[in-house]
Amino acid sequence: MNANVDETRSFLLSLLEKTRRETRELLSNLDPERTIHTDERAWRIRDIVGHLGVWNAEAVRSLNAYSNGDEYYCIPTDAMYYEYNGPAADERCTWAMDQVWGEYETAHNQLRLLVETIPDEKWEGEMVYPWNERGTIARLIEVMMGHEKVDHCDLVERAII
């Protein structure tokens, strides 16, 4: 056992749980049809939850690929982010809110399981992230949870005050 990996793993598991708990507490009590902000589209609570779920699922695909010695990314360049993001959000517009939350929860559970089970020797290596950047497992989880907290939940909190 590697003490450094164990410490990192423990920190990331805690971060995953804290982020999920805070997101659930904030967003599940709001009207899913409430518009929070607009940019290239209007973002409702349901869209935000769907967006988080789909990107966490993409992170799962990248981690699974890395764990198996492969690479996965869903977009080849940052320039194609909106070409992926918009249709992914649009698809979830027709889903029941329980289904949207279900995808979100499933992705978080899968991220947690991967963080728990990826072998120690994989932790220091570089993997391909879904958006075609490279970095460590730890950095992927930190970026994903930062995206959830800062880019979305903090924005919702500011909008509802």
What string of DSSP letters covers 28-53? TTS-TT-EEEESSSEEEHHHHHHHHH
Task: State pTM to two decimals.
Answer: 0.92
Closest CA to 113 of 50, 74, 73, 60: 60
Confidence (pLDDT) at 78: 67
For 52-63, the pLDDT digits (tens) are 999 999 999 999
Confidence (pLDDT) at 140: 97
Query: Does residue 88 or residue 55 have the better pLDDT?
Result: 55
Distance CA 62, CA 132 (A): 10
Mean pLDDT, all residues of the chain: 91
Percentage with pLDDT > 90 across the chain: 73
Instruction: With cut-offs at 50, 70 and 90, classify the pLDDT of residue 77.
Output: low
Largest CA distance in the chain: 48
pLDDT at 1 over 60: no
Show the domains of the chain with their CATH numbers: 3-17+43-160 (1.20.120.450)
Confidence (pLDDT) at 132: 87
Angle at 44 between CA 39 and CA 48, to 5 degrees: 85
Residues in Cβ contact with 157 at an 8 Å cutoff, skipping those fewer than 6 apart = 26
For 100-133, the pLDDT digits (tens) are 999 999 999 999 999 999 999 999 999 999 988 9
**What are the helix (H) ranges across the chain?**
3-27, 45-67, 81-92, 97-117, 137-146, 154-160
